[in-house]
Amino acid sequence: MKSKEIAMDEALSHIKDGMTLMIGGFIGNNEPIAAIDRLMELGVKDLTLIAVVNAYPGGGFGLGKLIENHQVKKFIGSHIGTCPAAVEQYKNGELEVEYYPQGTMIEKIRAGGAGLGGILTPTGVGTLMEEGKQKITLNGREYLLETAVRADVAIIRGYKADTMGNILYRGTPSSNPIMALAADYVIAEVDYVVEPGELEPDRIGTPGILVDAVVKGYGEEKTREIYRQLWAKKLA
């Protein structure tokens, strides 16, 4: 079988202006930071960005860079308050935002991956979240109908991959495994790429059938140092 490991630029060439892009991770953690940095350099614009939460507190890191660089026209997620640039662009009308509770956001993505039309959730009933949405009553309880979401491309973050695209996660995988189900083209950024058979089957978090491209990120040691410096600034 042909190896799914390809160059970063070849993988990112599938992301075009105006596309919908999912990025895995949570507030900077377990984000595909090397791919994000390169995507910023490539200047792809007018993106609709789907992420559970917007950016590392204070911005200047991870997917927040794409917003600061004015490459995102719409954000779909549960929070933007950690990214000053997103807040400012939202206030001045430059950035469109769709808000959803975190659990609802995850389930909308999961539904997209499962081929469902949406989900029923009681979360948000009786609040501003129900405005413009269909309400359904089942067994005497009201639910909101939340439609599924999918993306043209998803960039997820794993620890190791084999050349067939099987992904092993380390630590908290966050939204990455779910997003791998819900995009037409899936790019996995990892620290290490190994040959088929080297990953323990019961530790594989995303099967290779769901992954289109494997790219190497900054590597484990450089990534650790990037986060050390980032956290040191916050603690200073």
What is the domain-level CATH number for residue 55? 3.40.1080.10
Strand partners, 121: 144
Average pLDDT score over residue span 197-214: 97
Average pLDDT score over residue span 94-104: 96
Domain of residue 56: give its range.
8-115+150-235
Give the pair of three-digit tokens for residue 178: 């779910």
What Rg do the C-alpha atoms of the chain give, in angstroms?
18
> Rounded CA gap, 62 and 64, in Å?
5
Percent of the chain scoring above 90 in pLDDT: 87
Instruction: Using the predicted structure, report yes or no on whether residue 174 has a pLDDT greater than 80.
Output: yes
User: Looking at residue 26, what DSSP letter applies?
Assistant: B
Residue 103 domain-assigned (yes or no)? yes
Give the pair of three-digit tokens for residue 106: 């995850």
Spatial CB neighbours of 209, under 8 Å, sequence gap ≥ 6 = 165
Residue 142 domain-assigned (yes or no)? no
Residue 122 domain-assigned (yes or no)? no
Amino acid at 19: M
Residue 133 domain-assigned (yes or no)? no
Q: Tell me how many domains the chain contains.
A: 1
Q: What is the pLDDT of residue 104?
A: 96
Residue 126 domain-assigned (yes or no)? no
Average pLDDT score over residue span 35-44: 97
* End-to-end Cα separation, the chain, in angstroms: 50
Extract the runs of DSSP E, i.e. beta strands, from the chain: 20-23, 47-50, 72-77, 96-99, 118-121, 135-138, 141-147, 151-157, 160-162, 167-168, 183-190, 192-194, 204-206, 213-216
Phi and psi (nearest 5°) for 177? -60, -35
* Chain CA centroid to CA 47, Å: 13
Mean pLDDT of all residues belonging to the chain: 95
> Rounded CA gap, 8 and 6, in Å?
6
Give the pair of three-digit tokens for residue 164: 């067939």
Residue 43 domain-assigned (yes or no)? yes
Comparing 15-29, 56-70, 144-158, the range with the smallest average pLDDT is 56-70
